[in-house]
Copies of this chain bind each other. A is one copy, B any other.
C-alpha cells in the first residue's frame, strides 16, 4: 500500500503549484472578484493528479519537464473549472470541496459560472504560447487532445450522463461509460498531452499511454466511490457519503464493496501491463497507477 505520493511526485506537485500560481491572473487585476474566484478555486488544494500524469507522460517518452509545464497547468485549470460548475446548485449542489466552501458559496453563483468559463479559456490560451520552443505541431495536437477530452464526447458529456443517471438503475457498462467520459477522458488526456508535447512519441507509445490513462482513470474512479463509503469527510475534503445520499449509482452500489475493491486491483494490474514495453523512464507513471488506487483521500 502506497497511500502517499512518492518524493519525486511530491516535488512535481510543487512544481505544478508554482506554475499555476504564476499563470493565473493576479487577484489585483480587474475584474478583481473574478480573478479572485479563479485563484481561489485552483490554488491551495487538490491532488494535482492530472499535472502529475502529464509530467510523468512527458518523462516516459524521454521529454523534458519544462515542455509539459503549461499543459500541466492547463489540465489542472480545466479540472478546477469542471469542479466549480459541477458544484453549482443546478448541478450537484455541493457546498464543500477540498475542505473549503465551494466557489459559488465563497463568492456567488454568477461569479462561479464565469470563473469556470474563464478558466476553460485560460487553459487553451496557455498551450498556444510556449516559451520553451515546443514545436507548433505538438502544441496543436495537445490542444486538440484537451479540447476533445473537455467536450461533449468527454468531460461535459460525462457530466450529462451523470445527471441523467441520478435515481436510475445503471449496469456496470453504463457506469463505466459515464466515468470514462466524466473523469477518464481528462486523465487519459493528461498522459497523452505529456507524450504529445515531447514531439518524440511514436504511435505505439501513444496507443499504450492512452490505454494506461484510461485504466488509471477507471481505477481512480472506483477508488473514489470506495472512499465515498469508507473515507472521512475530513480526509476526502468533500461530504462523505455524498454520492449515496444523492442516490447516485457507484461501483460499490452496483457490484458490492468487495467486488469494487477487487476491480480496482485488477485495473491497477492492467494499467501496469499497458506499460510493459516501457523501462524505468515510466516509473512515475507506475507510481501514479499505484497511488490512484492506494490513496486514502
Contact = CB atoms under 8 A, between A and B. Distances in A.
A88 B110 CA distance: 9
A288 interface: no
B164 A151 contact: no
A125 B156 CA distance: 14
A33 interface: yes
Given A90-B113, A137-B136, A140-B136, A160 B31 contact: yes
A292 interface: no
A111 interface: yes
Contact of A159 (B109, B114, B116, B153): B114
Contacts of A25: 152-153
Contact of A111 (B111, B114, B160): B160
A85 interface: yes
A144 interface: yes
A88 B114 contact: no
A143 interface: yes
Given A116-B117, A147-B124, A110 B91 contact: yes
B90 A157 contact: no
B38 A121 contact: no
Given A88-B113, A118-B151, 4 more contacts: A31-B161, A118-B156, A128-B141, A139-B140
Interface of A: 25, 30-31, 33-35, 38, 82, 85, 88, 90-91, 108-111, 113-114, 116-118, 120-122, 124-125, 128-129, 136-137, 139-141, 143-144, 146-148, 150-154, 156-157, 159-161, 163-164
12 contacts: A33-B160, A34-B156, A82-B117, A114-B156, A116-B117, A118-B150, A120-B120, A121-B156, A122-B152, A124-B147, A136-B136, A136-B140
